[in-house]
Chain A
């Protein structure tokens, strides 16, 4: 499977995914930390991909997503955005709704 197919599979088979620097427990970037914390507070389990351990994904996800930076957050297979958008949607209560819907569909 090439890396683009691999990315597609990760985001479509998991309702909530964050591609981040480090892990939610040990984030290695303030933006990744903040985005992962917003997801955690939504209360649903989510998948994380540590891009430092997946160099091919690190290299190719920006092209796949037409989005040049990390973290990248996907809900229901769609790019939600990076840290700033994710946190803003969380503060407005919209992220929680999107997550609930995606988890409901996947169940």
Chain B
């Protein structure tokens, strides 16, 4: 199973999300072709209600401990409750471009 699928399954199990999008953005970074190192996650779940952003991101990182240890280098994380997602009209920010620091030299 590829890492993207594992991330999707772990998050689906942990958060029962109303919306979930996992995008492999590794191609935007200085890594070999077809790498699975950089992901963007947009997740909408009631589990985030009443929680601050740091707590939400920690919850997500904790549910992905295994994936983070198997080569995932960066997660762009956008966590919303269903109400917040509605207010944003269902759109999350774009990720930044690489500046080369993750490259093995």
Which residues of B approach A to under 8 Å, CB–CB? Answer: 28, 53-54, 57-58, 61, 68, 74-78, 93, 95-102
Listed residue (A52, A66, A69) with the most chain B CB atoms within 10 angstroms of its CB: A69
Q: Are A22 and B99 in contact (CB under 8 A)?
A: yes
On chain B, the residues within 8 Å of A68 by CB distance are: 61, 68
On chain B, the residues within 8 Å of A21 by CB distance are: 99, 101-102
Which A residue sits closest to B65, measured CB to CB? A68
On chain A, the residues within 8 Å of B77 by CB distance are: 82, 84
On chain A, the residues within 8 Å of B76 by CB distance are: 31, 83-84
Say which size band chain A's interface belongs to.
20 to 34
In chain A, positions 24-41 with a C-beta closer than 8 Å to chain B are: 27-34
On chain A, the residues within 8 Å of B74 by CB distance are: 31, 69
On chain A, the residues within 8 Å of B61 by CB distance are: 67-69
Which residues of A approach B to under 8 Å, CB–CB? Answer: 21-22, 27-34, 52, 66-69, 79-85, 87-89
Contact of A81 among B53, B75, B100 (CB under 8 A): B53
Q: Are B68 and A30 in contact (CB under 8 A)?
A: no
- Decide yes or no: A85 and B96 within 8 Å by CB, A31-B74, A69-B74 being known contacts: no
CA distance A29 to B76 in the complex (A): 13
CA distance A52 to B74 in the complex (A): 16
CA distance A83 to B95 in the complex (A): 10
On chain A, the residues within 8 Å of B101 by CB distance are: 21-22, 27-29, 32, 52
On chain A, the residues within 8 Å of B53 by CB distance are: 81, 85, 88-89
On chain B, the residues within 8 Å of A83 by CB distance are: 76, 96
Listed residue (A32, A67, A68) with the most chain B CB atoms within 10 angstroms of its CB: A68
CA distance A67 to B60 in the complex (A): 11
- Decide yes or no: A79 and B54 within 8 Å by CB, A68-B61, A84-B76 being known contacts: yes
Q: Are A81 and B99 in contact (CB under 8 A)?
A: no
Q: Are B57 and A29 in contact (CB under 8 A)?
A: no
On chain B, the residues within 8 Å of A28 by CB distance are: 99-101
